[in-house]
Structure 1
């Protein structure tokens, strides 16, 4: 397990390769659980978030990796949207930054308690942004995201609009991401979601891995560090994560290598040498 250091942040660009991370920090006898963000982590950004996708070969690798270790999504997307992207996988998902939690597609979604009328919020956002046709609104059950990916120079304007709306909707907070400002219930927190899933999935003694790319993933990195796990940020910028991948492609490469590592361990552990020198399979 890894020592905890949740208070310090680094802002350098000392990237590690997937090969070096596994070779230096993964142990054959250790159990792992892989927590994954989606956008900017295993899916490239698109101007329209609905055009984003997870590569088919990555989905296949994750499906095979599930035979060895739990795979959990921790995303700003809704649970239903995350399942769409991960199809055909069935996995535990913390959606809308942890406001929705579903352990599998057969289980009930765990919802937050609130009294906010999101129809009113959405109408107010549309009215406040009427002079900005380049903005794209993403309506979720417990949040509304304002995307300005097609026109990044609108960042300051969008933040001013969102801050003004907070004065009316005190139950909300702002999540500031990459070319997106999200008005979301204040209790949304990826770190708390990871803690909840770690407990509900009975992962005590398992080394958690969390890979994310954005400011909203920082509470998740801190939680993973507290649990003695492996936290990885994709890209540059100040972070609590212990390691960095340079791009989405490095994350996808890690998943492939992690699968190979897992398969090698299974082969190694399922064959033993008998007293007469014969190899026997324990499967």
Structure 2
């Protein structure tokens, strides 16, 4: 971890200092594109994943960014359907299920081809293996299945063994380990590849991509952002390849608001996705 990041973590105003640290990237000519994780980044963790939500104030800040023609794109392990509900009434591009399903808007999708028969069998085997452990929460998604143990962290090794045993039976799938969850999903699933695919789709010029995430599954995204000489931001103090850090969800919300106010004050924005592709509140 670099000295600047270490000093940043030890300072009182994380989000304000981060804005100062990255301000050398800013210019009137650049386009800005935010890639944002949800859980642990925009939303606090909840014991029951279905109880998670994005605060209204954060949604309003994302609207402000959109009004400045800044592209805002979700990159999440959540399905597109669930993520869209969390952002409602905001509408924005979403890379769901770690990039297996990418919805640019209602008409444009960049989904990865996955054999649904394999997914169905995988989910069946996971549910069967978890019968002796009703404390585990099984989340079926369109392209994967997740084993959550947030409420019972002592079952971490049990959940891990179940995931590895099932993965041995299904070689087309891999295991993503997140915070209190093991998820089995196709080997093609990768947040970094999803970010790259979206950047290619929009074909931005003079782009400054910014990705904020908190989990191990976000590391591939940080690598891609670093490759594009963008701004990679890790939420939390775990080891990471991100170049910068924020302390927690509250700091993320504050940073996004400060970023919006900074650009509004210093630059007249003329970049971003087209009007039809902008995030908008109904």
Question: Bigger CA drift: 260-269 or 17-26?
Answer: 260-269
Please tell me whether the aligned partners of residues 37 and 74 of structure 1 are also in contact (alpha carbons under 8 angstroms). yes
Counterpart residue number, 1:3: none
Rounded to whole Å, the distance in 1 between the matches of 2:130 and 2:6 is: 36
Superimposed CA distance per residue, residues 25-47 of structure 1 (whole angstroms, 9 cap, x where no aligned partner): 22242331111000000100011
Q: CA deviation at 1:23?
A: 2.3
Rounded to whole Å, the distance in 1 between the matches of 2:191 and 2:218 is: 6
Relative to structure 1, is the Cα distance of residues 62 and 48 closer, same or farther in structure 2, using a 3 angstrom cutoff? Answer: same
Rounded to whole Å, the distance in 2 between the matches of 1:123 and 1:58 is: 37
Rounded to whole Å, the distance in 2 between the matches of 1:168 and 1:179 is: 23
Rounded to whole Å, the distance in 2 between the matches of 1:61 and 1:204 is: 25
Q: 1:23 aligns with which of 20, 25, 28?
A: 20
Aligned pairs (5 A) from 1:174-193 = 174-193=175-194
Q: CA deviation at 1:267?
A: 6.0
Superimposed CA distance per residue, residues 164-184 of structure 1 (whole angstroms, 9 cap, x where no aligned partner): 111111110000000000000
1:84 paired with 2:82, answer: no
Q: CA deviation at 1:202?
A: 1.9
Q: Which stretches of structure 1, 4 residues or more, deviate above 4 A after TM superposition?
A: 8-14, 266-269
Rounded to whole Å, the distance in 1 between the matches of 2:221 and 2:174 is: 17
Q: CA deviation at 1:14?
A: 5.0
SS at the partner of 2:212?
A: strand
Please tell me whether the aligned partners of residues 40 and 234 of structure 1 are also in contact (alpha carbons under 8 angstroms). yes
Rounded to whole Å, the distance in 1 between the matches of 2:36 and 2:246 is: 13
Counterpart residue number, 1:98: 99
Counterpart residue number, 1:4: none
Rounded to whole Å, the distance in 2 between the matches of 1:82 and 1:128 is: 28
Q: 1 or 2, which has the higher helix percentage?
A: 2
1:70 paired with 2:67, answer: no
Q: CA deviation at 1:207?
A: 0.4
Q: CA deviation at 1:131?
A: 1.1
Superimposed CA distance per residue, residues 211-249 of structure 1 (whole angstroms, 9 cap, x where no aligned partner): 000000000000000001000000011100001111111
1:112 paired with 2:76, answer: no
| TM-score, length-scaled by structure 2 | 0.87
Mark the runs of 5 or more structure 2 residues left unpaired by the alignment. Answer: 271-282
Q: Cα RMSD over matched residues?
A: 2.1
Superimposed CA distance per residue, residues 116-144 of structure 1 (whole angstroms, 9 cap, x where no aligned partner): 43222222111101111110011101100
| TM-score, length-scaled by structure 1 | 0.87
Please tell me whether the aligned partners of residues 8 and 18 of structure 2 are also in contact (alpha carbons under 8 angstroms). no
Rounded to whole Å, the distance in 1 between the matches of 2:89 and 2:138 is: 27
Rounded to whole Å, the distance in 1 between the matches of 2:57 and 2:6 is: 31
Counterpart residue number, 1:241: 242
